[in-house]
Amino acid sequence: MEYETIRGEQIPKIGLGTWRMEGATCRNAVSTALELGYRHVDTAQAYGNERQVGQAIATADVAREDVFLTTKVWPMHRSYRDIVDSVHGSLARLGTDYVDLLLIHWPNPIASTREVMRALSDLRSEGLTRHIGVSNFDVDQLAAAQNAAGAPVLTDQVQFHPFHPQSDLLDYCREHGVLLTAYSPLAHGGVVDDHVLTELGAKYEKTPAQVALRWVVQHDGVVTIPKAASEEHLEENLAVFDFELTETEMALVERPSRVRTGVSRLRGRFER
């Protein structure tokens, strides 16, 4: 495993995303991931699976403090009191006294950024989260969140893959000491039949998905949380640290495409 170090925190380059995982499927996926060596797990109030994630962590042969656990506040909780109450609910479902990272899931245009970030900052001061951050914020929204927060914004969790490299946001994050956390790094399966990734995979004896993940984690200041439920895919996603793409290959993989990004989002919307 490789790590990103930010604000004194070592965060595994690859974690487990749990979007649209439910019940036993979610609990088993997290348990298997922890057995395989994952130490970074992401959930959210909106996913409805915090209880299963917490159960898997509680029963794993891994100390709680060795797992970097993230959850996200549903953006409809926009008042200070609602945010605080919702986080207490998350902690109860997760069966833990704290999370390592607490994010606001989406920017809410009718919410006060100052009030939202004050709530997250106060929860950090109270020890209910070790770090705070945002998700799905663009550059201007991230800057506003940083200005409003009473604590450092550790990360912006966004969709990031070869067809949606978010160059402007990544440049801003690097300049301002913010980690970029990449979700949907495989473009909801859109990388699987890509010809460039297939050719590079043949060269390195890797799958197209592994080449795409390698492209993601080879970026400085980026970690990623691919979703996977089967042991095969969980193992495959971890096996990307034994090869390295050249600068030329990194450039070849990166092909911004609004069409392919849009298709990826549609695929994700209807994914089961």
Active site residues: 47
- According to DSSP, the residues that pair with 73 across neighbouring strands are 104
What residue type is assigned to position 241 of the chain? F
Rounded to whole angstroms, how far apart are CA atoms 162 and 125?
37
Angle at 156 between CA 152 and CA 160, to 5 degrees: 155
State residue 19 phi and psi, 5-degree precision.
Answer: -60, 135
Q: 137: closest CA among 158, 116, 121, 112? A: 158
Other CB atoms within 10 A of residue 88 CB: 11
**Cα Rg of the chain (Å, integer):** 18
Rounded to whole angstroms, how far apart are CA atoms 263 and 107?
23
Rounded to whole angstroms, how far apart are CA atoms 131 and 124?
6
Rounded to whole angstroms, how far apart are CA atoms 125 and 172?
26
